[in-house]
Amino acid sequence: MSLPQIEEWIKEVEQRPESAATILKLIAGRLQDLTERNEALLAENIALQDGNRVEEYRKRIAHLEYQLDLLKRRYGLDAEELAALPAEPAILVPVCLLVYNAHGRILRVEPDSGTAALGHLNGELSPGGEPPRLLALPANEELLLLFTSGRVSTCSVAEIPSQALGTALTWDQAALPDEPRAGERLACITPLSWLSLADAFLQTSRRGCLKKTMTSIAETVFDSHFIGKGVVQKMDQPFDLMLCRGKDRLVMVTCEGRLVGLNVEDLSYSVEERLKLSPTDHLVASFVICSEEVLICLTQNGKIVYRDTSAIEFVNSTSSRGQALIPPTRLDKGVRFIGAASAGKYNRVAILDTAGDLNLHTLEELTSAGSVRTVHPLLAFSIVPASAGPGFTS
């Protein structure tokens, strides 16, 4: 608002007094805009003077450097080599297998091509009644630990000592990178190196709730060490956390054999219930699946159930009971899923049973037989590729 403009408005008022009220409103509005802008500039100037804005920029730079370091470690490359990579680099990295429990203890073994017996887990297998979980991932990964309180922390696979193959394993030998605090348990572990290429974090709860969180606020999540529980019901708790892209497709499988497929782009950034479960049911798996992979489900008595991706119905409804993979007659006899995963043709499968035996099988062997030869009920399993190439999951 310049001085000549003000003079023109004064002349207008003198010539047409009836327009005075309108012009005064225009002036008042303009002054309000200028006042707000002046206050914003003043606040920014103060922030620059006392270092707040400088510190904000430093944190942002540090977070971007952290994401770059994750990618460099994922490939074992320096910055120049990383920049020269093609869009889909074919770099293979050794894979390790993590066995972890709700108390935050993590064991690490490194499968090889000639060993079927990975080890024997002694002592209490399921502290607090929660069975251990298995996760195969690249040996140079960064890990995100999610606790049932919604708290998160990070550590690298390199910080977890590797155990000799075929030996006795105990939780006393296991690493404890971040001990759960009072009232919380370790819910899941997530590979983190693809953070800079992902669009969102995707949380699932044991009762089928879902929540997306944009990766653009990952810096805030890491600084506050909190992403939230992602639940609706008080008795519910976090189950899984994964990185995903907008066009990905999510699969959830429950203990009682319910399967639901969802398109990630249809999911909300607020918590919502997307799977209607019976009071006795709960999630045993949630993951992103690709069209060239198959769905593998495993029961506690060793039965293999698998489906092609084309057989999975991906729904857009806000809440669904999903497809039934276990017939009612089998449910009545106590048959339950211990887990599910997506797998490629040449993957292997690590399986832990209630006797503590941790063994490795080929997927082709299991699908051909239709079941796992086992004396003891099964507790947990994970798909184990021979090596980890590009992609969000191993």
Q: Which two tokens stand for residue 202?
A: 């995707």
Q: Looking at residue 17, what is its pLDDT?
A: 66
For the chain, residues classed under CATH 2.120.10.90 are: 95-384
Q: Which residues of 144-178 are buried (b: 16+ CB within 10 A; e: fewer)?
A: bbbbbbbbbebbbbeebeebebeeebebeebbebb
The type of residue at 69 is D
DSSP state of 334: T
**Under 8 Å between Cβ of 259 and 341:** no
Q: Which residues of 43-52 are buried (b: 16+ CB within 10 A; e: fewer)?
A: eeeeeeeeee
Q: Looking at residue 91, what is its pLDDT?
A: 46
Place of tokens 């922390």: 153
Q: Looking at residue 390, what is its pLDDT?
A: 42
Sign of CA dihedral 278, 279, 283, 284: negative
Dihedrals φ, ψ of 177, to 5°? -65, -30
CA-nearest of 337, 283, 330 to 306 is: 337
How far is the CA of 91 from the CAs of 64, 153, 279, in angstroms? Answer: 23, 28, 45
Q: Looking at residue 193, what is its pLDDT?
A: 85
Q: Looking at residue 394, what is its pLDDT?
A: 38
Cα(255)–Cα(285) distance, integer angstroms? 9
Return the number of other C-beta atoms located less than 10 Å from residue 97's C-beta.
Answer: 24
The type of residue at 382 is S
Q: Which two tokens stand for residue 334?
A: 């106590």
Tens-place pLDDT, residues 343-375: 988 899 999 999 999 999 999 889 899 999 999
What are the residue ranges in the chain where pLDDT is below 70? 1-21, 23-35, 37-39, 41-93, 386-394
Place of tokens 């949630």: 286
Tens-place pLDDT, residues 140-166: 899 999 999 999 999 999 999 999 998
Q: Looking at residue 197, what is its pLDDT?
A: 84
Q: Looking at residue 87, what is its pLDDT?
A: 47
CA-nearest of 163, 239, 158 to 193 is: 158
Return the number of other C-beta atoms located less than 10 Å from residue 106's C-beta.
Answer: 25
Q: Looking at residue 147, what is its pLDDT?
A: 98
**Under 8 Å between Cβ of 99 and 127:** no
Cα torsion at 204, 206, 208, 212 (round to 10°)?
-20
Domain 95-384, CATH 3.10.20.740 — does that match?
no
Cα(226)–Cα(153) distance, integer angstroms? 8
Cα(161)–Cα(163) distance, integer angstroms? 7
| pTM of the predicted structure, to 2 decimals | 0.78
Q: Which two tokens stand for residue 216?
A: 């653009």
**Under 8 Å between Cβ of 201 and 213:** yes
260 beta partners: 252
Return the number of other C-beta atoms located less than 10 Å from residue 86's C-beta.
Answer: 7
